Amino acid sequence: GPSVPESLREQLAVGGTLVIPVGVERVQRLLRVRGPTAERYAEEDLGAVLFVPLIGAEGWEDPRGRTPTRAARRRETRDPPSRVEPPASGFEHDASELSAQAPGSAAFRRRPSGAAEVVAGAAEPFDDLRSADLDPLLERIGAARVILLGEASHGTAEFYEMRARITQALIERKRVRIVAVEADWPDAAQIDRYVRGASAAPHPERAFARFPSWMWANRQVLDFIRALRERNAGLPVTEQVGFHGLDLYSMYTSIRAVLAYLDDVDEDAAAVARARYGCLEPWEGDPAAYGAAALRGRFESCTERVVEMLEDLLARQLEYERRDGNRFFDAARNAALVRNAESYYRAVYYGPHRSWNLRDRHMFDTLEALLRHHGEGARAVVWAHNSHLGNAAATSMSARGEINVGELCRDAYGDACYAIGFGTDHGTVAAADDWEAPMRIMDVRPALESSYERLCHDSGVGNFLLPVGERAADAEVRGALMPERLERAIGVVYRPRTERASHYFHAALPRQFDEWIWFDETRAVDALPVETDSDEMPETYPFGL
C-alpha cells in the first residue's frame, strides 16, 4: 500500500508483528512493524520489493472500478483517506491474457487507449527502415559520446538492420569510431581484424561458433561488417572504425590469447602465466563447475592467481606497449576478462543479481577502456539487449538489486549518453527452447495487454521512432508513458508457453530510454552456417575459418 494502514496497526497486540510492502514509487520497501510498547511502534526496513497493489479504502483505487466492500465504505465514511493513483504496473492481468492471441483477434480490435492515441500523434512513422528519416534522431543524439542501441530479442532481423543503419549514419556524420557489442572480446577481435583489412586471425578458435552462434553469426551482421571493411579500406588507422566485444564468457579463449601474446614478447612471463592459469585448466569443459567446487571448498580458488597475472601484465605496460600498443591492449583486456570471468563463475552461486552485476560492470569497464584507448573525444555505439542498455533503475531489475550498462553509463556520462530501446508486437524470432538447445524459428506471441508493446500496437502505427526521454520528448508523451507497464525481453531462449513469467518485467519507459523504436511485425535473423565453410564468405572472414 501507499503507507502502513492504521487499521492494521491497531490490530497489533504487544509483541505482534506486521510485515507489509509500502511505497508509492515503483519499488516498494518491505517494512516490519512490531507491536506497540508504550504506545510506540518499531519499524524496520527489510529492503526493496515489488508486490501487487493493495486495493481498498487505505490503499489504491481499484483500477477496474469495483465497488468497495461494506466495511471499506464504513471506514471511508468515518475517516476518508487520501487517495493515491495506482501504478500502472501490469499486475491487473488475469489468466485470459496468457492464452495465445493472434493479430486480428478480438483483443487486437479493442479501441486504442488515450496513451495509445498520444503515441500515434507523436510517433515519427516509416514504412521501411531503409527509407526511415534518421535526421531528427541524429539531431536528438547530438554530441552524445555513448549511444546505446538495444534490442528486445537476440534473434530479430529488424533490430539488427536498424542498428546497422543508425550506426553507419553515426559513423559518417558524428565521427563514431567504436562499435562495441554484447559479444566475447576474442571473437569480436577477429571481426575487428577483418573490418580493418587484416587477413589472419590471432586466435585459432572460430568466431561465434559456440552457443548462441546466431546472435552474431547472421546475415544482418555479415552485411554490416562487410560495409565496415569497405569503409575502412585505405583509411589511416585513426579514421578506421573498430568492432569490439564487451562480454566475459570466453575465459579459456582469452587465456590462450594472453599466452600467445606473451610467447611472442616475453617467454619468461609466458611460463609464469601458464603456471597461474593452469589452476583453471581442469574446468575448461564446464567453468560453472569450477565456481561450485571453489564455493564448497572442494577446490582451491584461482582468484589470487588470475589477479596477479593481470597486475603483472599491467605493471609491464610501458615495456610491452613500445613493441605494439594495440596488441598489448588486446592482451590486457583478455587478462581482465579472465579475472572477471573467474569471479563471475563463483558469483553465480551467490545469487543471480551478483553474477548479473559483475557481468554488466565488466562490460561497462571494457567500454570505458575502449574510450580511453581511443583518446579524448572518442565516441562509441553499443549494441546489446534492452535489459542491458535501458536504465535498470527505471525497471523492476533494481528491486532485485541489479544494475546494468545503461545505468552505469547514465551515471558516468549523464546527457552525453543516449539510450535507444527497440520493441515489437508479433512475428518470428530465432531462438532456442533452452540453453545449448538447437536454434529454431519461433512465432512471437502478440504482446500482453498491460504492456508497452500492446500500447504501441494499439497506436495503429506500424513502424515508428519516438523520443521518450526528458531531453527530447513532448511532455504529453512522457506523461502518457510514465506509469509503469510490462515490457517484453526475449533473449536467446524463448518460452512462449510461460511468456508472462519468463519474458516480461516492469518498467517506466521514459526513465529507461531516451528513444523508442517500434516494429509492429518482425522476422527472425538469417543465421549463418558457422559450423561449415560457406562459398558465400571470403576465406579470411572469421565465421568461415
In this structure, what DSSP letter does residue 60 have?
A: B
Interhelix angle 317-347/185-195, rounded to 10 degrees, is 130
Q: Which residues does residue 522 pair with via DSSP β-bridges, in sequence order?
A: 427
40 Cβ contact list (under 8 Å, min separation 6): none
SS3 of 524, please?
Answer: strand
- The tens-digit pLDDT sequence of the chain (545 residues) is 777 888 888 888 877 898 988 865 556 778 888 877 655 677 787 777 777 777 777 776 765 555 444 444 444 444 444 433 444 433 333 333 333 344 444 333 344 558 999 999 999 999 999 889 999 999 999 999 999 999 999 999 999 999 999 999 999 999 999 999 999 999 999 999 999 987 655 555 677 878 899 999 999 999 999 999 999 998 998 899 999 999 998 898 999 999 999 999 889 999 999 999 888 888 787 777 776 676 665 556 788 888 888 888 889 888 888 877 788 999 999 999 999 988 888 777 666 678 899 999 999 999 999 999 999 899 999 999 999 999 999 999 988 889 999 999 999 999 999 999 999 999 999 999 998 899 999 999 999 999 999 999 999 999 999 999 988 888 899 999 999 999 999 999 999 999 999 999 999 999 999 999 999 999 999 998 865 444 444 443 555 53
Report the distance separating Cα 142 and Cα 461, nearest Å: 26
With vertex at residue 524, the alpha carbon angle to CA 518 and CA 527, rounded to the nearest 5 degrees, is 135
> What does pTM read for this prediction?
0.78
**Are 499 and 98 within 8 A, CB to CB?**
yes
Report the distance separating Cα 137 and Cα 159, nearest Å: 16
C-alpha cell at 481: 508513458
CA atoms within 13 A on the CB side of 297: 0
Omega within 30 of 0 (cis) for the link into 212: yes
Report the distance separating Cα 440 and Cα 429, nearest Å: 8
Residue in this structure with the C-alpha cell 577481435, named with its chain if needed: 189
338 Cβ contact list (under 8 Å, min separation 6): 251, 254, 255, 258, 277, 280, 306, 309, 310
